[in-house]
Chains A and B, each alone.
Chain A
């Protein structure tokens, strides 16, 4: 069965086949290569791909595999098959505005229940010592405010949930 990993915004399908103790073949795209991984210490491994050997530093966290290879770091995320083939459509009536970057809330201009029009300023956030206005992505009503003034948040954190619809006249 194929597995999938996300790397730099692209999904890569692969499968692994065992050829002996600790020895595998990696099938990914057109590639079919002999691979193995031997631990040198808790964090450092020796990776072999074909006949090439190289040290890699690896850390895992849940489905994330963090890799340091030749001076660059990479993040690969394992996608469970359930998730891959799940129906991704969101409840049609809702629009969730998420934080484009980590930061803090400077001010909030609306409250739950308010009617808003597309483009209307909802809140002002600060990141990287710069202010950014978060504006309504559609006409509708403020369903939930997920943050308050002064609160800090991480990237992709939900800020405001809007219920789509024509604004009240």
Chain B
């Protein structure tokens, strides 16, 4: 099926691709994003024969996405991030460039119901679900209530909005450890684990202040915290004709600060029966919501049970993992759905093959508590080979600044088995060179060699439980000599001083007392 479906798709383009695409309500797509995802979307838009327009802040004027796009429009803002959050300016850019659709990527405006609505009002097709669904799933409290009403599993919790006066009391009743989350949150921002009742109220206030700042909304809820849970999510896809499929699961348990670093499919944790249950629950939630376009239903999994966490109403960073095991292009599927097409396959057609793992390449120093790093990219050498895909937003000469999220690129590795994928990943990470700005590449390679990771024994607290993975490896004498040799031979004053002494005297220097 995997190959048949590809062959069928190719045949469709060749035979009546022109006719089908020319009937689409848009022929030009504006990408409202930056970095690796902007480039990745531009490539699919162009492969389909559509025109790709990108918006960019001045600091991104030399980016790979801007170079690749058919048209690039500069947007401005008080900060670079503010420019990418300025919906009115982006819609104006779409109008000026004649774009008929807007793809928001992930982050920025991708889950902003107001922006999706404004696109529709401006006559633009928003590549994503309806504003109503974005709003429903964007509010973690209403999303949770919706899912619980449908009979799907949610973790024990207390919601502030139900009765603010008794919130603290009800939070205590949930039991410890518990997790405080902002109602409007996402991406781990403002979340706090409380293990001890004496600090509950102080932590609630801190979470409220962070929620207020990040989301302009200080409302909270608490949930029972499952120790060492696994994060398992299911990719879903619906069309505007009422068809819904799931595209199987991804496990994203290797995290730091509630943010994913490594994602893979299939999950090494699930039995066939559980895999079926979790995927069908996700498809059921999607169907109940009347959802169209691509989305992800996230679950936490522990002690053989899974609970709904949240639904992301956009393309995920880790979508290439699903693309690799299914042989599909998810951005293409998003565009087809946005154009009003019905899904070209059924659930039975979607048979995953092999194993895929994604590694997020971050500008950060794992040994220093994963602090973000900055600097120029002096040398960039990306790995190549069978089963290797690199989605990158940087090139040599790029300056990594604190202006944006520190994710630079993604390495996606696939193989027939998990073992083969890990083996290929170790080589690819060994060959992946970024010089000038410290990255987590060597850390990821050490992670790949860790026995617990290799055994699939991962959970969201994995890196806290194994601090040795993040620690700077001890420098042995041989390596130190090699490094000092390179530095000495490359540094002008050192070499000049050596070259100034005739070789004979220098040779005598070997037993000279210094």
Name A residues whose Cβ lies closer than 8 Å to a Cβ of B: 1-3, 5, 7-8, 12, 14-20, 24-28, 31-33, 35-37, 43, 45, 47, 49, 54, 56-61, 63, 65-76, 78, 80, 100-104, 106, 127-131, 150, 152-155
B373, B436, B488: residue with the most chain A Cβ atoms closer than 10 Å? B488
The answer to whether A31 and B378 have CB atoms under 8 Å apart is no
A80 to chain B, nearest CB (A): 8
The answer to whether B78 and A14 have CB atoms under 8 Å apart is no
Q: Which of B441-500 contact A (CB under 8 A)?
A: 441-442, 445, 472-473, 475, 477-491, 493-495, 497-499
B144 at the interface (CB under 8 A from A): no
B325 at the interface (CB under 8 A from A): no
B78 CB contacts on chain A under 8 angstroms: 150
B510 at the interface (CB under 8 A from A): yes
Docked complex Cα distance between A121 and B490 (Å)? 45
Size of the chain B interface, CB-CB below 8 angstroms: 63
User: Apart from A24-B498, A59-B436, A128-B257, what are 14 other A-B pairs with CB-CB below 8 Å?
Assistant: A7-B487, A12-B480, A19-B507, A20-B503, A26-B484, A31-B481, A35-B489, A49-B485, A73-B442, A102-B373, A104-B79, A128-B370, A129-B189, A155-B373
A77 to chain B, nearest CB (A): 9
Q: A18-B498, A69-B483 are in contact. Are A155 and B491 (CB under 8 A)?
A: no
Q: Which of B400-423 contact A (CB under 8 A)?
A: 401-403
Q: Pick the residue among B187, B213, B379 that contacts A59 (CB under 8 A).
A: B379
B486 CB contacts on chain A under 8 angstroms: 37, 45, 47, 56, 58, 65, 67, 69, 76
A38 to chain B, nearest CB (A): 10
The answer to whether A65 and B510 have CB atoms under 8 Å apart is no
Docked complex Cα distance between A43 and B503 (Å)? 28
Q: Which residue of B lies closest to A75 (CB)?
A: B438
A152 CB contacts on chain B under 8 angstroms: 79, 401-403
Name B residues whose Cβ lies closer than 8 Å to a Cβ of A: 78-79, 187-189, 210, 213-214, 257, 370-374, 376, 378-379, 381, 401-403, 429-430, 433-436, 438-439, 441-442, 445, 472-473, 475, 477-491, 493-495, 497-499, 501, 503, 506-507, 509-510, 514
The answer to whether A5 and B484 have CB atoms under 8 Å apart is yes
B189 CB contacts on chain A under 8 angstroms: 129
Q: Which residue of B lies closest to A17 (CB)?
A: B506
A15 CB contacts on chain B under 8 angstroms: 494, 497-498, 514
Q: Pick the residue among A7, A36, A43 that contacts B381 (CB under 8 A).
A: A43
The answer to whether A57 and B473 have CB atoms under 8 Å apart is no
Q: Which residue of A lies closest to B82 (CB)?
A: A150
The answer to whether B372 and A101 have CB atoms under 8 Å apart is yes
Q: A15-B514, A27-B514 are in contact. Are A101 and B371 (CB under 8 A)?
A: yes
Docked complex Cα distance between A67 and B485 (Å)? 11
The answer to whether A25 and B487 have CB atoms under 8 Å apart is no
Q: Which residue of B lies closest to A54 (CB)?
A: B482
Shortest beta-carbon contacts, A-B, top 10 = A102-B402, A59-B378, A17-B506, A71-B430, A16-B498, A35-B485, A66-B435, A76-B487, A59-B435, A37-B489
A47 CB contacts on chain B under 8 angstroms: 482, 485-486
The answer to whether B402 and A78 have CB atoms under 8 Å apart is no
A60 to chain B, nearest CB (A): 6
The answer to whether B514 and A37 have CB atoms under 8 Å apart is no
B439, B493, B498: residue with the most chain A Cβ atoms closer than 10 Å? B498
The answer to whether A14 and B482 have CB atoms under 8 Å apart is no
Docked complex Cα distance between A18 and B147 (Å)? 74
Q: Which residue of A lies closest to B496 (CB)?
A: A16
A32 CB contacts on chain B under 8 angstroms: 510
A63 CB contacts on chain B under 8 angstroms: 491
A44 to chain B, nearest CB (A): 8
The answer to whether B442 and A155 have CB atoms under 8 Å apart is no
The answer to whether A102 and B374 have CB atoms under 8 Å apart is yes
Q: Which residue of B lies closest to A43 (CB)?
A: B379
B480 CB contacts on chain A under 8 angstroms: 7, 12, 28
B472 CB contacts on chain A under 8 angstroms: 8
A30 to chain B, nearest CB (A): 9
Q: Pick the residue among B485, B493, B498 that contacts A37 (CB under 8 A).
A: B485
Q: Which residue of B lies closest to A5 (CB)?
A: B487
Q: Pick the residue among A19, A65, A131 that contacts B487 (CB under 8 A).
A: A65
Q: Pick the residue among B79, B374, B485 that contacts A150 (CB under 8 A).
A: B79
Q: A16-B495, A16-B498, A25-B506 are in contact. Are A36 and B489 (CB under 8 A)?
A: yes
Docked complex Cα distance between A106 and B266 (Å)? 41
Q: A8-B475, A17-B501, A71-B430 are in contact. Are A57 and B372 (CB under 8 A)?
A: no
Docked complex Cα distance between A49 and B481 (Å)? 8
Q: A3-B488, A71-B430 are in contact. Are A17 and B498 (CB under 8 A)?
A: yes
Docked complex Cα distance between A12 and B170 (Å)? 59
Q: A57-B435, A67-B483, A155-B371 are in contact. Are A19 and B188 (CB under 8 A)?
A: no
Q: Can you spell out 30 A-B residue pairs with CB atoms less than 8 angstroms apart? A: A3-B493, A7-B487, A15-B514, A16-B497, A17-B509, A18-B498, A18-B499, A18-B506, A33-B481, A37-B485, A43-B433, A47-B482, A47-B486, A57-B435, A60-B378, A61-B376, A65-B491, A69-B479, A71-B445, A73-B433, A73-B438, A74-B483, A76-B483, A100-B371, A102-B374, A102-B401, A104-B402, A127-B372, A128-B370, A128-B371
Q: Which residue of A lies closest to B378 (CB)?
A: A59
The answer to whether B378 and A61 have CB atoms under 8 Å apart is yes
B370, B479, B506: residue with the most chain A Cβ atoms closer than 10 Å? B506
Q: Pick the residue among B379, B402, B499, B507 that contacts A57 (CB under 8 A).
A: B379
The answer to whether B188 and A37 have CB atoms under 8 Å apart is no
Q: A8-B475, A24-B489 are in contact. Are A71 and B429 (CB under 8 A)?
A: yes
The answer to whether A49 and B488 have CB atoms under 8 Å apart is no
A26 CB contacts on chain B under 8 angstroms: 481, 484-485, 488
Docked complex Cα distance between A104 and B436 (Å)? 22
Q: A71-B442, A72-B442 are in contact. Are A16 and B489 (CB under 8 A)?
A: yes
A150 to chain B, nearest CB (A): 7
Q: Which residue of A lies closest to B439 (CB)?
A: A73
The answer to whether A16 and B442 have CB atoms under 8 Å apart is no
The answer to whether B498 and A67 have CB atoms under 8 Å apart is no
